[in-house]
Amino acid sequence: MAHISGAEGRDDRPNGQTLFESIFASDRPDEETLIVWRGQRCFALLNLFPYTSGHVMVLPQRGVPRLDDLTSDEYHELWEGVRMAVAAVEVAYQPEGVNVGANLGRSAGAGIPDHLHVHVVPRWSGDTNFMTTVADTRVVPEALTESWRRLVDAWPTA
């Protein structure tokens, strides 16, 4: 609930931090924060509101809204993190495909526009159903803690 309640007023930066910076800097265990990988400049965590099981986000540790705001080192590690996230998703879930994308700015669909993040979403033929369309509800067949474990176990080591 801390993540959900923290999502309100996203553009406000309590303590000068974005929501994702607060999650990264917390003293809570990664299993609780759903962080699956920590790099030198970037990290990956599960999406709290996933489209499917295994929906992970890769982002810089520093909250910036645009790709142009990244340093060269952050940029390269971000995309290396995306590569590793795709590899982990493929090992953990054996999807038929993977969506990779970033929503840059609120008008582009970014729910948290002040901290750039890249979505990695495993996909299967027929993985959408009437629930999303009719009830604006997603059905995810796996608990987030199980998704976390699967991705941590599948994450490439180099």
| CATH code (residue 87) | 3.30.428.10
Active site residues: 117
Looking at the structure of the chain, the number of domains it has is 1
SS3 state at 115: coil
Q: What is the pLDDT of residue 50?
A: 87
Give residue 23's domain range.
2-154
What pTM was computed for the model? 0.84
- Write out pLDDT tens, residues 28-79: 999 999 999 999 999 999 998 888 899 999 999 999 999 999 999 999 999 9
SS3 state at 122: strand
DSSP state string for 40-61: SSEEEEE-SS-SSTT-EEEEES
Element at 21 (helix H, strand E)? helix 19-25
Burial 45-64 (b: 16+ CB within 10 A, else e): bbbeebbbbbbbbbbbbbbb
How many CB atoms within 10 Å of residue 2?
A: 13
Q: What is the pLDDT of residue 107?
A: 86
